[in-house]
Amino acid sequence: MPLSSLLWVFLAFTFSGSGVAQSVTQDQPHIVSEVGKTVTLNCRYETSWNVYKYYIFWYKQLPSGQMTYLIHQYSDDGNARDGRYSVNFQKAHKSISLTISALELEDSAKYFCALWDSQCWK
């Protein structure tokens, strides 16, 4: 298989919020796949006991360093989908995965999962 048809996907995870115990983690430091295939990236997160509503965002960082927004999930909504991007949100398990279908060479990037709480104190 020619190297040009391989995709390198690096995962990096970040969080933002009110400064209380929100965090995101990943279990896949990198993934190699092929053009045209489908890949799934996993993200687990933790929120404080008092965080009831939040958003999870997926971004990719190109080799140039440019950050690109991909898709987001609101904690009270069903699974989000936008073109080739879809999420499987498991609120009870505090996990979310991003699936990218019909991979293109331009999908070679570092991927970030970010958590933002929209309501810290209820």
pLDDT tens digits, 3-48: 444 445 444 444 444 444 566 666 666 888 999 999 999 998 887 7
Which domain covers residue 44, as residue numbers? 3-119
Bridge partners, residue 12, by sequence? 112
Structurally, the chain folds into a number of domains equal to 1
Residue 36: the pLDDT is 96
Residue 102 CB partners (closer than 8 Å, separation 6+): 36, 38, 84
Token pair for 121: 């104190």
pTM for the complete prediction? 0.75
CB 119 within 8 A of CB 53: yes
Q: What is the CATH number of the domain that holds 84?
A: 2.60.40.10
